[in-house]
Structures are given as structure tokens and as C-alpha cells.
Amino acid sequence: MTTDSHMTRLPRLLWLLGFVLALCFWAAPRAAAAEYDDTLDRLGRLQDLAESYAAEHEGDPILLTLSYTRTGSYNTAIWQLTAGARDSEFEAYVNENDADLAALQGMTTLTLPTGETTDFGHMLASMNLVYNGLPITGSWGGDCMELAKSFHGQADDAAGYAGLMQSAFNTGDSSSSVFSAEDLRADLDSVVVGSQLTRDSDIADTLRSYYDGLTEYDRAYQFIALSFGTVNTSDSGFSDVVYNAIVQDTGMQLLFYMNDMWTGSGWTIDESYAPAVRGATDLLAGYLAGAVNGDRVKSESNNRLVAMGSQALADALNALGDSEAASAALAAAQTGASSTVSSTEAVLSEATQTLQSSFNVKIFELFLLIVAAIAVFFLIMSCALFVSHRRK
């Protein structure tokens, strides 16, 4: 009797277990979608407050919004030096008007509409730097640097490092990976989305449009075009392009310098770290090439993302109290060792004594137009004088 009773209950228990599992599978995507929508809703409300605050105080609503989310490891000295100091008065203003927005601070994993997960806090912080004109430092460059530091001294060459780093690169477990898949998505997305932002952009709407139907191919293709221009990813030289981009970037030079991976003498990467950094960038290059199936990527714009200029780098080093390194950086730029070219504006905050650099494409284009107009004027004057002389 007892055995029959158990046999009767077993199908019921299995049916109940199956129902619970089905309910979980049904509810999980909807919960993730709700979390995504709630997060972007908060981001929109935060930007609304930033615009209201900026209307009464000096400030950029985009920077106010993104910097508000930067806490903990994204608010250290290097972040304040490059991304700018967070506005404590704005934070008090936000807390007073919408305390729920504090949920945007310290965010980690967020499920995207694509079903993938990303480190959302990392992405927003990186977007802050991209918007400031530092497209590599807070995103993929910073993660490659961390990967190189973690494995430094464990191999003899770049290939050896790449082999060791494989287990810590683009993995699903973000808690144990130095450069996880969530970090990688955040890095690429921050560059693509951050490059689209202007002072009048709606950050939440820009993110919604970007993630609508996004594929891994699209993400990688857009990132490559913005970061490296037109390039054949199946070419063996593509890995050279990625490595050169990181060591020639002035923002990365500053980051390497602050992590004792860059030498002030000659202003170049420390030779003991170079193979490890190369191993990390080779892994990234391999991933990118695979994501776009080795296709030739064509950049539709001549306005590639570039970092702060050499003078801004020197200003940052002077702000750190190292005038010798500042002079070395300028000398290296003048001899062509640092090939980054940009137009930047360096702002040293009196309150925090930190440097904030920004790249303004419109100002740069206006400057070129003025130079062109002056050149045309002198050409016309020269022609007129020549004709006048011929008549005489």
C-alpha cells in the first residue's frame, strides 16, 4: 500500500517540478527585460535632473549624468584625473529629488535585450571617458593593461602570454576572469555608444537604439571601424594595428605611467611589460577578427576616435608633479614616437586639482575652415597682384 501510494505521488511530483521549472524559464527573460527597462528609465530621469541642474549651474548634462554613476573603482585618482571629478552638489541635488537613482551607482551585471549580460557600471564609466576624448583608456585599453599586469613575468614572449591569458579572456564567469565577456561587451559598447553622444543626446534613447537587434558582428564591426579605421581583419598585420593603437594612445601612456608600466626616460613602454601587453592585444585582435569573420572593415567616416593631445598629456603629468616625464612626453611627440593627433581642451579643476581632457570635433573642424578661408584669401590676393603686375 505504501509503495503504491509513492508510485501515485511520483508523477504528480514530477509534473509539479516541471511546472516550476517552466515557470522559472518563462519568468527569467521577463524579469531581465523589466530590469533593463527600469535601468534605462532611471538613466533618463537622471539626465533630466542633470539638464535641470545644468540650466542653473555651469556644467555638461552628459558629463553630470555619467559621472554620477562612477563610484568605487571608477572614482579613483586616475579616473578623476581623466574623467573629471564628480559633482558633489549635483549628487546632493539628485538624492533630494529622486533618491531611487542611487541604484545606478555601483551597478554590475545587466541583461541586455540581446540576451547577453554586460557590466553596465563599467560601460557607463567608460562612456564618460570616451565622451571626454579618451576612447581607449577606460575601455579595452584599461582591461588589456589589467590582463598584462596579472600575468606579468609568467612568459617569455607575446605568444606565451597570449596562451596563458586565454583562460582569463572573454569568459562567462566575470567573478574569476580578469577580462570577462561582460567586460569585453562593456568596452566595445562604450566606444560605439560614447562616440555617438553630443551635449544634446538622450543617453537612454541612444542605448535603446543601439541594442535594438544588435548582433556580435555588428558590435565588433562598428567598434573596429571607429577604433582602427578601414582595415582587413584577416591580414596578419591587424594585430599590429591593435597593439600600436594602445601604445601610441596618449591616454593609455598616462595610464601605463601611473601603473609603473611606462618609462619616463625615452617615454616608451617598459620593455618587461611589452610582451604581456602585446599578448593581451593579440587576444583582442583575434576575437575581433573572428567576430567579423575576418572581413575587411570599412570606416564610413574620416573622424576616427583619437585621444587627448600631447600637450594635454604633459599637463596631466605636470599636475601629478612630474615635470621631467611631461618634458619627455612632449619630446617623444615631437620626434614622432607618439603619433596621436587631436585637438583637445585641458581643464584643471581648482577644487580638485585634477585634469579633465575633452576632444571637440566641431571646434577642430571650425579651425580647419578658418585656416582654409585664410589660405583662399591669400591665394586670391596673390592672383590679383600677379594680374596687376602683368598689365603694367
- pLDDT tens track for 10-68: 566 555 555 544 444 444 455 668 899 999 999 999 999 999 999 999 899 999 999 99
pLDDT at 23: 46
Please say if the pLDDT value at position 367 is more than 90: no
Mean pLDDT of all residues in 192-205: 96
pLDDT at 4: 55
Mean pLDDT of all residues in 245-263: 95
Q: How far is CA 38 from CA 32, 193, 251, in A?
A: 10, 19, 34
pLDDT at 370: 46
Domain boundaries, the chain: 28-305+347-359, 362-392
CB neighbours of 302 closer than 8 A, spacing ≥ 6? none
Report the distance separating Cα 120 and Cα 190, nearest Å.
Answer: 10
pLDDT at 16: 55
The more confidently predicted of residues 175 and 241 is: 241
Query: What confidence tens digit (pLDDT) does each residue in 260-271 have?
Result: 999 988 899 999
pLDDT at 27: 44
Average predicted confidence (pLDDT) for the chain: 83
Least confident of 50-54, 148-152, 274-278, 381-385: 381-385
pLDDT at 17: 53
Instruction: Decide: residue 328, CB within 10 A, 0-12 exposed, 13-18 middle, 19+ buried.
Output: buried
CA 311, 260, 245, 200 torsion-angle sign:
negative
Q: Percent of the chain having pLDDT more than 70?
A: 75
* Its pTM surpasses 0.75: yes
